[in-house]
Structure 1
Amino acid sequence: LPSQAQVVIAGGGAIGCSVAYHLAKFGWTDVVLLEQGRLSCGTTWHAAGCCAMLVEGIVRTMFEYSKQLYPKLEAETGIDTGWQQTGSIYVARTEDRMIAYRRHADAIRAMGVECELVSPRDISVYHPLLRVDDLKGALWVPGDGVATPADVTQALAKGAAMKGVQIHEKVGVEKVLTVSGRVNAVRTNKGDIRCDHFVNCTGQWAWELGQQSSPSVRVPLHSCEHFYIITDPVAGANTATTPVAQDPDGYNYMREWNGGFICGGFEPTPKPVFTDGIPSPFEFQLLEEDWDHFQPVLEQILLRMPALKEVKVQKFLNGPESFTPDLFPNMGQAPELPGYFVAAGMNSGGIASAGGVGKVMAEWIISGDPPAGTWPVDIRRFGEMHNNRRYLRERVKEILPMPYAQPYPKPEFQSARKMRMSPLYTTLEKAGAVFGVKMGYERANWFSKPESGEARLTQGTYGKPPWFNAVQEEYMACRQNVAIMDMSSFTKFEVRSSGDEVVTYLQRLCCNEVDVPVGTVLHTGMLNHYGGYENDCSLARLAENLYLIISPSNQMVRSWEWLHRHLPKEGTVQIRDITPYYAAINVLGPRSRELMAELTDAVTMSSQYFPSFTCRELSIGFAPRIRAMSLSHSGELGWMLYVPQEYALHVYDHIMHKGRDFGIRNVGYYTIAHLRMERAFAFWGIDLDASVTPFECQREHRVKFGKGVDFIGRSALLKQKQEGVRQKFVMFLLDNHDLDNDLWPWGGEPIWEGGRVVGRTTSAGYGYTLKKQVCLGFVHNPDPQTGEHQIITNNFITKSKFEIQIAGKKFSAAARLFPPQI
Structure 2
Amino acid sequence: MFRLNSHLLRVFNGDLAQRLIGERPHRWALIPCCCRLLSTSPSSFAVMEGSTRVPANCQVVICGGGIIGSSVAYHLAERGWTDVVILEQGSLTCGTTWHSVGLVGRLRYSRTELKIVDYSRQLYERLEKEGHGLGWKQCGSLNVARTKDRLIDFKRKHAVAKTVGIEMHIVSPSEAKKLCPLMYTDDLEGAIWIPHDGVVTAPDVSLTLAKLAKEKGVKICEGVAVQKVVTDQGRVTVVETSHGKIKCEYFVNCAGQWARSVGKKTVPKAVKAPLHSCEHYYLITKPQEGVDPMMPVVRDYDGHVYFREWSGGILAGGFEPNPKACFHKGIPDKFEFQLLPSDWDHFQVLLDGIVHRIPLLSSAEVRQLINGPESFTPDSQWLLGKSPKVENYFIAAGMNSAGIVGAGGVGKYLAEWIVEGDTSLNLWAYDVRRFVRLHNNKKFLRDRMTEAFANHYLLKYPREEYKTGRKLRCSPLHTRLEVAGAVFGETMAYERAMYFQIEETSFGKETGAMWSWSKPCWFEAVQEEYWACKERVCLMDMSSFSKIEVRSRGDEATAYLQYLCSNNIDHEIGTIVHTGMQNRHGGFENDCTVARLDTNHYYIICPATQQTRAIAWMNKHLPADGSVQVTDVTSMFSGINLIGPHAQQLLADVSDFPTNKSAFRPMTVHIIDVGHASSIRAMRLTHTGEDGFILYIPSEYALHVYDTLMTAGKDYGIRNAGYYALRHLRIENFFAFWGLDLDDKTTPLECGRGFRTKLDENDNFIGKAALLEQRRVGVKRRFTQFLLDNYDVHKDLWPWGGEPIYRDGQFAGLTTTCGYGFTMDKMVCLGFVSQIDENGEMLTQTSINEWVMNKNAKYEIDIAGVRYPAKPGIFTQKMSFQVVEPLFVPAPNVSPTK
TM-score band, normalised by the shorter chain?
A: over 0.9
Quick one: which amino acid aligns to residue 811 of structure 1?
Answer: Y
Answering whether residue 221 of structure 2 is matched by residue 168 of structure 1, we say: yes
SS in 2 for 1:707: coil
Among 582, 605, 608, which residue is 2:637 paired with?
582
Shift of 1:449: 3.1
| Alignment partners' CA distance in 1, 2:224 and 2:860 | 57
Kept after mapping to 2: 8 A contact 1:118/1:139? yes
1:730 aligned partner = 784
| Alignment partners' CA distance in 2, 1:731 and 1:531 | 22
Kept after mapping to 2: 8 A contact 1:797/1:817? no
SS in 2 for 1:694: coil
Among 758, 766, 774, which residue is 1:720 paired with?
774
Shift of 1:237: 2.2
Q: Go from structure 1 to structure 2 and tell me whether the alpha carbon gap of 1:453 and 1:692 turns closer, same or farther (over 3 Å shift).
A: closer
Q: Go from structure 1 to structure 2 and tell me whether the alpha carbon gap of 1:256 and 1:454 turns closer, same or farther (over 3 Å shift).
A: closer
Matches within 5 A, 1:15-164: 15-57=68-110, 58-74=112-128, 78-164=131-217
| Alignment partners' CA distance in 1, 2:768 and 2:483 | 49
| Alignment partners' CA distance in 2, 1:453 and 1:434 | 16
Among 199, 210, 218, which residue is 2:252 paired with?
199
Answering whether residue 548 of structure 2 is matched by residue 493 of structure 1, we say: yes
Give a deviation string over 1:563-620, Cα, whole Å, max 9, x none.
000000111100111111100000011111111111114x611211101001000000
TM-score by length of 2: 0.90
Shift of 1:180: 2.5
1:360 aligned partner = 413
Shift of 1:819: 4.5
1:797 aligned partner = 852
SS in 1 for 2:217: coil
In the alignment, structure 1 segments of 5+ residues that lack a partner are none
| Alignment partners' CA distance in 1, 2:839 and 2:306 | 39
Matches within 5 A, 1:739-758: 739-758=793-812
Answering whether residue 591 of structure 2 is matched by residue 536 of structure 1, we say: yes
Kept after mapping to 2: 8 A contact 1:9/1:33? yes
Percent of pairs with identical residues: 50
Higher relative contact order (CA 8 A, sep 6+): 1
Shift of 1:269: 0.2
Answering whether residue 502 of structure 2 is matched by residue 475 of structure 1, we say: no
2:430 aligned partner = 377
Among 209, 224, 228, which residue is 2:282 paired with?
228
| Alignment partners' CA distance in 1, 2:623 and 2:290 | 68
| Alignment partners' CA distance in 1, 2:588 and 2:125 | 37
| Alignment partners' CA distance in 1, 2:191 and 2:674 | 60
Kept after mapping to 2: 8 A contact 1:372/1:690? no
Give a deviation string over 1:455-474, Cα, whole Å, max 9, x none.
99961101111111110000
Moved more, 704-713 or 427-436: 704-713
1:656 aligned partner = 710
Quick one: which amino acid aligns to residue 549 of structure 1?
Answer: I
Among 837, 851, 869, which residue is 1:783 paired with?
837
Quick one: which amino acid aligns to residue 271 of structure 2?
Answer: V
Answering whether residue 767 of structure 2 is matched by residue 681 of structure 1, we say: no
| Alignment partners' CA distance in 2, 1:589 and 1:126 | 58
Shift of 1:405: 1.2
Shift of 1:665: 0.5
Matches within 5 A, 1:363-762: 363-449=416-502, 459-601=514-656, 604-762=658-816
| Alignment partners' CA distance in 1, 2:505 and 2:524 | 14
Kept after mapping to 1: 8 A contact 2:128/2:135? no
Give a deviation string over 1:518-565, Cα, whole Å, max 9, x none.
000110000000000000000000000000010100000000000000
| Alignment partners' CA distance in 1, 2:576 and 2:810 | 43
1:260 aligned partner = 313
| Alignment partners' CA distance in 1, 2:627 and 2:423 | 28
Quick one: which amino acid aligns to residue 113 of structure 2?
Answer: V
Give a deviation string over 1:14-73, Cα, whole Å, max 9, x none.
000000000000111100001010100000000111111432322222111000001222
Kept after mapping to 1: 8 A contact 2:73/2:210? yes
SS in 1 for 2:625: coil
| Alignment partners' CA distance in 1, 2:829 and 2:600 | 41
Kept after mapping to 2: 8 A contact 1:447/1:668? yes
Kept after mapping to 2: 8 A contact 1:731/1:775? yes
Quick one: which amino acid aligns to residue 534 of structure 1?
Answer: E
Give a deviation string over 1:346-387, Cα, whole Å, max 9, x none.
000000110011001100111222443100011000110100
1:815 aligned partner = 872
| Alignment partners' CA distance in 1, 2:759 and 2:103 | 52
Kept after mapping to 1: 8 A contact 2:780/2:842? no
Kept after mapping to 1: 8 A contact 2:803/2:815? yes
| Alignment partners' CA distance in 2, 1:243 and 1:686 | 36
Kept after mapping to 2: 8 A contact 1:597/1:605? yes
Shift of 1:734: 0.3
Shift of 1:108: 1.0
Shift of 1:707: 3.1
2:385 aligned partner = 332
Q: Go from structure 1 to structure 2 and tell me whether the alpha carbon gap of 1:530 and 1:761 turns closer, same or farther (over 3 Å shift).
A: same
| Alignment partners' CA distance in 2, 1:780 and 1:451 | 45
| Alignment partners' CA distance in 2, 1:819 and 1:74 | 57
- After superposition, the CA RMSD in angstroms is 1.5
Moved more, 256-265 or 453-462: 453-462
Quick one: which amino acid aligns to residue 567 of structure 2?
Answer: N
SS in 1 for 2:381: coil
| Alignment partners' CA distance in 1, 2:115 and 2:172 | 28
Kept after mapping to 2: 8 A contact 1:35/1:171? yes
| Alignment partners' CA distance in 2, 1:580 and 1:230 | 52
SS in 2 for 1:275: coil
TM-score by length of 1: 0.98
Moved more, 45-54 or 437-446: 45-54
| Alignment partners' CA distance in 2, 1:571 and 1:785 | 49
Shift of 1:276: 1.0
Quick one: which amino acid aligns to residue 698 of structure 1?
Answer: G
Give a deviation string over 1:754-791, Cα, whole Å, max 9, x none.
22111110111111001000000000101246744342
Kept after mapping to 1: 8 A contact 2:226/2:239? yes
Quick one: which amino acid aligns to residue 34 of structure 1?
Answer: L
Kept after mapping to 1: 8 A contact 2:128/2:136? no
| Alignment partners' CA distance in 2, 1:561 and 1:319 | 36
| Alignment partners' CA distance in 2, 1:786 and 1:336 | 36
| Alignment partners' CA distance in 2, 1:614 and 1:542 | 10
Kept after mapping to 2: 8 A contact 1:783/1:790? no
Q: Go from structure 1 to structure 2 and tell me whether the alpha carbon gap of 1:75 and 1:743 turns closer, same or farther (over 3 Å shift).
A: closer
SS in 2 for 1:651: helix
State the aligned residue count: 819
Kept after mapping to 1: 8 A contact 2:551/2:630? yes
| Alignment partners' CA distance in 2, 1:576 and 1:153 | 44
Among 333, 345, 348, which residue is 1:295 paired with?
348
Shift of 1:125: 1.9
| Alignment partners' CA distance in 1, 2:151 and 2:128 | 37
